[in-house]
Amino acid sequence: MELRTLGRTDIKVSALCLGTMTYGEQNTEAEGHAQMDYALEKGVNFFDTAELYAIPPKKETQGRTERIIGTWFQKTGNRDKVVLATKVVGRTGMDWFREHGNGASLTRAEIEFAVDRSLKNLQTDYIDLYQIHWPDRNMSNFGANPTRWAPPELHEDENSIESTLEVMADLVKSGKVRHIGISNESSWGTMRYVTASEHLGLPRVASIQNTYNLVNRTFETGLAEIAQRENVGLLGYSALAQGYLSGKYRNGALPAGSRKVLFDRLQRYEHPRSIEAYDAYFSLADEAGLDPAQMAIAFAKSRDFMTSVILGATRMDQLENDIAAADVTLSSDVLEKIDTIHQDFGNTAP
């Protein structure tokens, strides 16, 4: 498994990262433990979670994923073998994250509460990468650069990026957090974090976790250059477009136990042009003799701004197939044909 440097830190992370958001909802504790065992055995040393998880978010399952990872650490003693990333929620109206029951935002008290609870859930005394799950401010398009601008509603009590960095700096000084990252951020927000850290002597963001896949390459529009020049590497999620690029929903299939069947929350990826784009990518994979999921993951992994591609699976055979993409290198011919398809269809699921 290829190892890559996380930002400007001295940490090396695997080019594939184990996503865990299904643990505690679609996956049992035992299944989550088995996935972590397998991933570590295959050289995946990077696990990503969040205080929000399991997905879909709800009061009954909030924090359950972190607790499953914590029991695995306690059982196996493998904490020192894993680069552990988790996240604190941004501003939200969901009222079960904090004891006051009034939603959440990125105030000092709420970030400190969140990190202490995550440490307890994870049964560890430090987090390698602590990420802001989404901004305190409203965004024009969640998780991607907008292809069309929709003016967001501004909050009068917005917590500034500078104030957030000050809290994160104290967490780093305390030893609870080693490094920090951002998620679902824009080009403006990312550069604001970078310049604030430089001007104020605060910790530098090491990574950005945003959507990136064959039908959403909006990261390339403005963020890719920042990632490359400022060493804020991408941790790309939804590399398989929530399963659509794996082919499991091909020709209208609805596999039992899939997120589409259980939760019907995949509308972002169901535009008619997206369905046409998937078919074009599937045809290319068939032509090249490639598994479509592995082609999609290998493409994301091949980008020079990508630090690690986050994988999520509910079944072990899915995880095995996805991790095997670590050994897949796409030819220049396939890469050119991918670009040709993208030129025809563009970002159909931004």
Q: Pick the closest to residue 72 from 48, 117, 37 (CA basis).
A: 37
Q: What are phi and psi of 24, to 5 degrees?
A: 100, -5
Residues serving a catalytic function are 53
Cis peptide before 298 (omega within 30 of 0): no
Whole-number Å distance between alpha carbons of 33 and 38: 9
β-strand pairing of 127-132 with 83-88:
parallel
Beta-carbon neighbour count of residue 299 at 10 Å? 24
Whole-number Å distance between alpha carbons of 113 and 97: 10
Torsion, Cα 163 166 168 172, to 10 degrees, reads: 180
Q: Residue 177: which residues within 8 A CB-CB, separation 6 or more?
A: 115, 126, 127, 130, 168, 171
Q: How far is CA 330 from CA 240, 290, 345, in A?
A: 16, 9, 20
Q: Name 235's bridge partners.
A: 209, 308
Q: How many CA atoms lie within 13 A of 6 on its CB side?
A: 30
Structure tokens at 342: 């993208």
Q: Name 19's bridge partners.
A: 48
Structure tokens at 31: 């299944």
B/e letters for 304-329, b = 16+ CB within 10 Å, e = fewer, are ebbbbbbbbbbeeebbebbbbbbeee
To 10 degrees, what angle do helices 316-323 and 292-302 make?
Answer: 50
Structure tokens at 139: 């965004």
Place of tokens 């196996």: 76
